Structure 1
Amino acid sequence: MKNILIIDDEINICTLLSKFLGKHGFKVDSTMTGAQAMKMMTENRYDLVLCDYRLKDTDGAKLLGDIRQQHPHTVMIIITGYSDVRIAVEMVKNGAYDYISKPLYPDEILSLVNKALSQPVPAPATQVNAVEPHAHEERPMPVSEQQKNGSRYVYGESEPSRELFRELTLVAPTDYSVIIFGETGTGKESVAHLIHEHSSRKGQPFVALDCGSLSRELAASELFGHEKGAFTGAIGTKIGAFEQAQGGTLFLDEISNLSYDIQVALLRVIQEKQIRRVGSMKEIAIDVRLIVASNENLFESVQKGKFREDLFHRFNEFTIHIPPLRERVEDLPLFVDAFLSQVSKELNKGEVKMSEEVWECFRRYDWPGNVRELKNVIRRASLLTPAGKEITMAALPLEMKSGHTFAKSTHTNGESAEEEIPDMPMLDSNDLKSVALKAEYNKIINVLKAVKYNKTKAAQLLNIDRKTLYNKLRLLNINY
């Protein structure tokens, strides 16, 4: 059995590579520092080292020199980011076997490791044919151009998007539970879908459940199912989300909103891999991969006592953070092109174009509702613009035309105040009920903008529960 040492200051990478290579017959150790790596190498013999170029206490170039000097028979592969490819090429010339650039793909890693270990000693620098930087820099993501520009997913090309896809590709082939963290509208369910579709469970069900819209009474029934007559209104047997997802993936959105007693029941299900329908004594074995999402930091919820720590650690085998749209503005053209194409098909009309004025507005806007808000804006603009014509500023929502969000405005005395939102369309300004609806609409929009569309926080500020907020959003036709 060959011994491999992984050196990376990201614990997620160490864990995933260790498990992946371990499954393929290697004995794997890992560490997050160069100093600890050198200590481990004096105590154990390693056939191969996978080392990230950038470490907290040193860099790959220095570590390569030390390893080559003290352990000349150990093969070394460098893991590098896009910006360090030229340095990695130099390291290959100086004795590293090869380098692999991020994002990392499991099959590619395994192939390179097997190839490297077939040669017992790293090739001398004079015998190495170093690969030119562009050969690695232009390595495509494992998706076709049709997929990239297709109707379902948009693969961003900004650095945050590449990092997101790198993590997604690493964790997908495993059976790890995953926490997806991101602001409202960033596309957490889409990322969960992608993980499922890149996994061995691809051909099995993918079931999504929004825990934020569930009352305490309904949560157990929706998750675990119920038997006929289990409670008032249970007129038939119901199959819960866990059973529906049998063999596949269960995605639980807004997981932090589950009540304490449901959290306890969920912990038991994860530990025992069995569920019991409400009103039944029969245990049902389940085989489900769990992906959960929250727009709140779950660790902070644990510290506040809102979420069970033991349940958090059960979920937290891997965490993915989805960056907000304002941090990946480079991806705007990709999203816009994809959404224009999608909406054209939805409306069954010719595709519209973007005017330069609208593009400038899009680039300046901070997109508090993220990708979901962008898609809604494109839908509205496409509906209002004739086929083949350019979208103008007149087709954009009022909050975008003003050049800033509704969240808050600052007066000269430094105090904050809510902005007045224009009248809701199609309401009679003299009708008392219409006036009340407008005031309610304005208040909800202002609060949503202020909390970046976090519906849990919005409900708390409005002093209503989430279910009531959802009902009001539907009533007032607020789509964020």
Structure 2
Amino acid sequence: MSKILIIDDDFDICKLLTRFFSKHGYETFEAHNAKSAIDFLKETAVDLVLTDFRLPDEDGISLLQKIKLLRPQTLVIMITGYSDIRISVKAIKAGAFDYVTKPLHPDEILSTVKSALKKKNTVNTPAPAKQIPQRFIHGTSPESQNVLKHIKLVAPTQMTVVIEGETGTGKEYVANTIHNFSSRAGKPFVAVDCGALSKELAGSELFGHVKGAFTGAIAEKTGCFQEANGGTIFLDEIGNLPYEIQVKLLRVLQERKISKVGSNKEVPIDVRIVTATNDDLRKSVADGSFREDLYHRLNEFNITLSPLRKRKEDIILFANHFLRKANEDLGKDISGFSSDVVKIFNRYPWYGNLREMRNVVKRAALITQGEYIQQDALPHEITYHHADSFSFDHEEEENITDLKSSAEKAEKAAIIKALQETDNNKTKAAKVLKIDRKTLYNKLRDYAIDL
């Protein structure tokens, strides 16, 4: 019988999920904060942890890192709100198996748990480390065609690559495609989200540690560089790497050797490094937060990915791709999208890019009972943005004379622009707008802004 630990500070949700999973044959346990969850896991091994991202004493990413350090074989599924899509993506890159969004749908969460436990039972049998190649779907837009051309040019070389683009534009897929088109194909491909690495654990996660190297190091750990030996390591959000780790990474690039935390022994490695960022690393170099020598060692070749809203020709192509994947994952046979949904997709700005689209399509497929996905299967945020953008597109025809209405639209547009420029960082956006965080959150609620 598989064991599941449910972590949520809402006692009612915990009881509801406990009864639900017990009914389906799982042994369940409860914890209501991060500390009690970690204390429990120190004493008891479970197969899977289902945790809310927002806990009273710790956020989900930090808790996830501790769980992976304490119980590396335990799978973690994160529960988030729809507005936390980017956080959910970070959780996956930090080691979560998947995420589910509120409001919770029983069929969706059960399907995700079954998939996780099936994977756990499969990977627990010894097997050579090998990354299953991901299929890279390239668009028909000029921007997408140019990216594909650059991938084919750089892949056969051993050059380090920096991939630039907004969150969710497919940087990891591009990195994986470079790997699969190279002579290292079939060897390990290891992806690491540097933005999810705490200062304390970054060295251990990348280079490994020996037993007793620090509090909580109850066993020796193999780092990501050793796991990727012979293949490719993908360092996403490289600009967030702590400065002292940047120094160690530069030495790895120069000498092709690593040292585990707590050990002086050097281990030779043969790894190709591909990095990605949604920041301007040149600005980070200029302000001193990123080493210039490391930047030049990493940036032997550069690929820039355009946001989905700037390559309209690709929108429905990718939506159909994600629908095929959703059909496979959910055992569905949905033929496509209604004409209304196609129009909504083409008008929606897709601030979360491909990541957001994948989540929207999969959830819509789960809800849909007919042959085509209809508008009522989409999240309110998608249809609302559609209606709002439509009114902006036709503003000159509406002859708006209401001063209050015009001011509100201008204010909303300014908030959206600030969030885009700060990569949805609410604290930074509030500073740009010269308001406090509480005021910003109130306005996000009032205008139903959900980026």
* TM-score, reference length from structure 1: 0.56
What is the match of residue 19 of structure 2? none
SS at match of 1:180: strand
1:231–1:167 Cα change, 3 Å: same
Note if contact 1:181-1:319 (Cα within 8 Å) is conserved in structure 2.
Answer: yes
What is the match of residue 330 of structure 1? 313
Deviation at 1:405, TM superposition (A): 9.2
Which amino acid in structure 1 is aligned with residue 139 of structure 2? G
Give the Cα–Cα distance (whole angstroms) in 2 for the partners of residues 290 and 350 of structure 1.
39
What is the match of residue 420 of structure 2? 451
Correspondence for 2:369 among 380, 386, 398: 386
Deviation at 1:245, TM superposition (A): 0.6
What is the match of residue 196 of structure 1? 179
What is the match of residue 58 of structure 1? none
Give the unaligned 5+ runs of structure 2.
1-132, 393-403, 432-449
Give the unaligned 5+ runs of structure 1.
1-149, 420-445, 464-478
1:413–1:203 Cα change, 3 Å: closer
Correspondence for 1:347 among 318, 330, 333: 330
1:214 equivalent to 2:197? Answer yes
Which amino acid in structure 1 is aligned with residue 383 of structure 2? K
Correspondence for 1:395 among 356, 377, 385: 377
Deviation at 1:187, TM superposition (A): 0.7
Give the Cα–Cα distance (whole angstroms) in 2 for the partners of residues 458 and 296 of structure 1.
16
Which amino acid in structure 2 is aligned with residue 316 of structure 1? N
Deviation at 1:153, TM superposition (A): 2.7
1:462–1:447 Cα change, 3 Å: farther
Give the Cα–Cα distance (whole angstroms) in 2 for the partners of residues 193 and 169 of structure 1.
12
1:246 equivalent to 2:229? Answer yes
SS at match of 2:274: strand
1:458–1:185 Cα change, 3 Å: farther
Instruction: Among all aligned residue pairs of Structure 1 and Structure 2, give the percentage whose two residues are the same amino acid.
Output: 48
Deviation at 1:322, TM superposition (A): 0.9
Note if contact 2:207-2:260 (Cα within 8 Å) is conserved in structure 1.
Answer: yes
Which amino acid in structure 1 is aligned with residue 262 of structure 2? G
Task: Output one character per residue of 1:174-212: Cα deviation in whole Å (capped at 9) or x when no partner.
Answer: 000000000001011110000000000112110111111
1:258 equivalent to 2:241? Answer yes
- Within 5 A, what are the aligned runs for 1:221-370? 221-370=204-353
- Structure possessing the higher radius of gyration over alpha carbons: 1
SS at match of 1:195: helix
1:213–1:405 Cα change, 3 Å: farther
Give the Cα–Cα distance (whole angstroms) in 1 for the partners of residues 255 and 134 of structure 2.
39
What is the match of residue 156 of structure 1? 139
1:412 equivalent to 2:406? Answer yes
Which structure: greater helix fraction? 2
What is the match of residue 373 of structure 1? 356
Note if contact 2:320-2:336 (Cα within 8 Å) is conserved in structure 1.
Answer: no
Note if contact 2:258-2:268 (Cα within 8 Å) is conserved in structure 1.
Answer: yes
Give the Cα–Cα distance (whole angstroms) in 2 for the partners of residues 448 and 235 of structure 1.
47
Q: Alignment length, in residue pairs?
A: 287
Which amino acid in structure 2 is aligned with residue 215 of structure 1? S
1:305–1:315 Cα change, 3 Å: same
Give the Cα–Cα distance (whole angstroms) in 1 for the partners of residues 412 and 416 of structure 2.
9
Deviation at 1:289, TM superposition (A): 0.3
Note if contact 1:369-1:453 (Cα within 8 Å) is conserved in structure 2.
Answer: no
Note if contact 1:207-1:245 (Cα within 8 Å) is conserved in structure 2.
Answer: yes
SS at match of 2:186: coil
